[in-house]
Amino acid sequence: MSRAARIPNLGGAKAFVLHRPHTTVQAITRQLSAIGLEAIECWPQLPAEALAADFVFFDADLGFDEQFPWKPGEAPMPLVALIGSEAPGRIEWALSHNADAQLLKPVGTAGVYSALLIARQSFEARKRLAGEIASLRQRVGERQTIVRAVAALSKGGDDDRAYAQLRSLAMSWQISVEEAARRIVAMTEEEDGDDQSHRA
């Protein structure tokens, strides 16, 4: 069984509430203040300083893409969707922005704290996963570069000997095998380009 996640201290964090003036906003800001967060109300758009926010609550019922200073799904902080209408199109729109948690309207005297914690954990997990995917893509790209370098060094001959030669070059250049492979591929492409220009 995995260790339970530690509950973070949210005191001093900054949350923007992107919602038209409404009792919902008052209920949220009261709860945020009680938890120790600074709440900033805004409508109809997020100001540029929202990019430094710790959380953003947004109205899923009347929201639109241009309200945000980032592309859908690329928020740099956890998002909490405020949902009053369960119309499929509105929920789909909130999902397109990768809402990390939700609060159903009308918001009462509770719910904000758990939404903050769920949003933070979901956002961190998504960021971690995106980092792992980027790392895997980079490794796949590096492997393809190594294969191309080995093919260039072997010139149709012994691949094992060519790979050993690549490793030997990396050691003598005091760089990683991946960096050595990039150099070999670049030199090969340069030579191919020179050959084609001479033929022309």
pLDDT per residue as tens digits for the range 22-67: 999 999 999 999 999 999 999 999 999 999 999 999 999 999 999 9
Residue 106 near residue 152 (C-beta atoms within 8 A): no
Q: Which residue from 36, 52, 105 is spatially nearest to 94, judged by alpha carbons?
A: 105
Does the bond joining 44 to the residue before it have cis omega, within 30 degrees of 0?
yes
| Beta strands at 14-18 and 38-42: parallel, antiparallel or unpaired | parallel
CATH of 138-199, one of 3.20.20, 1.10.10, 1.25.40, 3.40.50: 1.10.10
> Which parts of the chain have pLDDT scores under 70?
1-7, 193-200
Q: What is the pLDDT of residue 91?
A: 92
Q: What is the pLDDT of residue 10?
A: 85
* Span 64-78, pLDDT tens digits: 999 999 999 999 999
pTM: 0.73
In CATH terms, the superfamily for domain 14-131 is Response regulator (3.40.50.2300)
Residue with tokens 């769920």: 118
Tell me whether residue 66 is exposed, middle or buried, using C-beta atoms within 10 angstroms of its C-beta: 0 to 12, 13 to 18, 19 or more. Answer: exposed
Q: What is the pLDDT of residue 1?
A: 44
Extents of the domains making up the chain: 14-131, 138-199
